[in-house]
């Protein structure tokens, strides 16, 4: 899963770069092309596996939405901080991610977060990790 983590992080870094640029910036098109190449590579290597994991998460939450393309669950921008040890920490807001909904929990959003790569649900109860690349066969319910 080390390669998975690295590829996800590269996509996130490119998305953050794009979020800082205007469409008129000379670098925008080049970074956008790099981003699309990274997303295609990610999908080719991990798309089916991640679709299965997302499908399992939605099934466990009785969500009726269709599973989207795996890169749809990557936020457009991440908040990047550095901890006391100099390690990068990425976070998302409750508005980030793809909505999944059921009658019991209301709307939740499913989104990737890196370091380590994981899928989290965000909603009125905060943020809850449901899948972690360190334990890829385990799904954790809220």
Asked whether residue 20 is domain-assigned, the answer is yes
Residue 138 forms part of a structural domain:
no
Q: Does residue 17 lie within any of the structural domains?
A: yes
User: What are 55-111's pLDDT values in tens digits?
Assistant: 999 988 888 788 999 999 999 999 999 999 999 999 998 888 998 877 677 788 999
pTM, two decimals, is: 0.89
Residue 20: domain span? 2-132
Residue, of 140 and 33, whose pLDDT is higher? 33
Q: Is residue 140 part of a domain?
A: no
* pLDDT tens sequence across 23-56: 999 999 999 999 999 999 999 999 999 999 999 9
Q: How far apart are CA 14 and CA 93, in angstroms?
A: 18
Domain-located, residue 23: yes
pLDDT of residue 107: 80
| Rounded Cα gap, residues 115 and 17, in angstroms | 18
State the total domains in the chain.
1
Assess if residue 137 is contained within a domain: no
Determine the Cα–Cα distance for residues 1 and 17; give it in Å rounded to an integer: 24
pLDDT of residue 32: 97
Is residue 142 situated within a structural domain? no
């Amino acid at each position: 899963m080390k390669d998975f983590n690295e590829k996800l992080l590269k996509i996130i870094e490119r998305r953050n770069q794009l979020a800082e640029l205007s469409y008129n910036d000379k670098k925008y098109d080049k970074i956008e092309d790099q981003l699309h190449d990274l997303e295609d590579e990610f999908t080719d290597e991990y798309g089916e596996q991640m679709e299965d994991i997302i499908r399992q998460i939605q099934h466990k939450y009785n969500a009726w939405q269709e599973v989207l393309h795996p890169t749809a669950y990557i936020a457009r921008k991440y908040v990047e901080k550095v901890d006391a040890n100099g390690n990068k920490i990425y976070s998302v807001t409750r508005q980030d991610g793809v909505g999944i909904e059921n009658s019991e929990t209301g709307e939740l959003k499913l989104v990737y977060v890196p370091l380590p790569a994981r899928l989290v649900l965000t909603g009125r109860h905060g943020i809850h990790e449901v899948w972690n690349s360190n334990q890829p066969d385990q799904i954790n319910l809220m």
